[in-house]
Chain A
Amino acid sequence: MPSVRELRDRIRSLKNTQQITKAMKQVAAAKIRRAEAAQKRTRPYAQTLSEMLADLVGAVSAVDHPFMREGRVGAPAAVILMTADKGLAGAFNSNVIRLGESYAAQHPGTRFYSVGVKARNALRRIGHPDHRTWTLGGDKLATARAVAAEVTRDFTSGDIGAIVLISSTLVSAMSQRPLQRRLVPILKEDLAGTQERAAKPSGALEFLPTPEFVLAALLPKYLEFTLYSAMLETDAAFFAAQLVAMSNATDNAGKAIDESTIAMNNARQAAITKELLEIVAGAEALAG
């Protein structure tokens, strides 16, 4: 049985840990709100962009853009693996990484790009030491643009046949799920959801200079924006996961403190009882 002193030290250390986890929980809670607000601000842009895309796809008879054709046959797919830069958020990052690993296992030759320090480290560990990588923090718009430019170049040159994004989605405040989605090629059936609007006669919509030209300008923007909004969602999901993880850690530290406190009280009481017994025994021996 540990001594009273050992137990007291353990309680002190547990309390320190608990203070840290509690502080991180509060920080995460504040940051979720900010991240969610940032995400919400992208909605008007997102909505207008998909409306425009729908109008265009409805207007263009023969779509001829590299993004809307199947990639080169036999070319490997590229996966953009997106995680947070930091950990301490439960299984948040490892869930995404695991999905990436299983994708690579099913599709040999997969080429990786990473966004987020955790994804970078994981990919280096599993045999992609020099893939292209960006961090999640910093100027997200600039990063999204850089990633889009890089994968676009590799796609149009035929080095890769498809672009897949694996990242976290925020299902609810309490749950995040890793999701795999194909970004390129964008096939007509992917836009099925937007066909409704396309079917609506948008009147004699005029395109400047031509629908094909506007579409060719819009598709890369669509890719950039999808990456940008995925980065914002990863941010929000990360803080949500961290909030839960830190909340659990704080509770567990509390439980451990309670248990150690009881053990310490028992040990202290046992020491007192033992001392008393010794005194009584001594007195009895003298009286005897």
Chain B
Amino acid sequence: MGSTVPFKLITPAEIVFEGEAELVIAVTTEGEEGILPRHAPLLAALRPGILRANVRRDGSTERLERATGEGFLQALPDGVTVLVDEALRFEDIDVAKAREELAAASAAGDRSAEAFAAAKLRLTGR
């Protein structure tokens, strides 16, 4: 068992996850960034994408995967906090709707919405 860091995933509407994580991988504007325990203090802007984390739950390690909207990641000595607009589980995603959103966003040239819709589809494996 590796060391862990307190990890919080927060949207405006709720705390999606609060617990211990061994690893958090988020998509920053500069590319994917993996955060391990005792990471140097960091504040990063996130692009819509898929957030992955290895979290401890009931003594075992679990994979947490969410399609996330725009947001921020803060790594401080006392924990890692991710703030995002939305954090959807793959069960929450309506594939047909996500496809429509992707098409509408590309047509409108909305890069952020396009990336979010694409992330949703990728999370569902389509």
How many residues belonging to A are interface residues under a CB distance threshold of 8 Å?
30
CB-based contact A221/B43 at 8 Å: no
Q: Which residue of A lies closest to B86 (CB)?
A: A141
Q: Does A238 contact B (CB under 8 A)?
A: no
Q: How far is the CA of A207 from the CA of B44 in the complex (A)?
A: 6
A residues contacting B by CB (< 8 A) are 38, 41-42, 44-45, 48-49, 51-52, 55-56, 141, 145, 202-209, 211, 213-214, 217-218, 221, 225, 228-229
CB-based contact A48/B83 at 8 Å: yes
Given known contacts A44-B15, A52-B72, is B43 in contact with A214 (CB within 8 Å)?
Answer: yes
Q: Which residue of A lies closest to B77 (CB)?
A: A203
Q: What does DSSP make chain A's interface, helix, strand, loop or mixed?
A: helix
Q: What does DSSP make chain B's interface, helix, strand, loop or mixed?
A: strand
CB distance from A280 to the nearest CB of B (A): 78
Q: How far is the CA of A124 from the CA of B3 in the complex (A)?
A: 61
Residues of A within 8 A of B85 (CB): 141, 145, 221
Q: How far is the CA of A225 from the CA of B85 in the complex (A)?
A: 9
CB-based contact B44/A141 at 8 Å: no
CB-based contact A52/B14 at 8 Å: no
Closest 7 CB pairs of A and B: A208-B44, A217-B45, A205-B41, A214-B45, A206-B42, A45-B12, A45-B10
CB-based contact A204/B14 at 8 Å: no
Q: Which residue of A lies closest to B74 (CB)?
A: A52
Q: Which residue of A lies closest to B8 (CB)?
A: A44
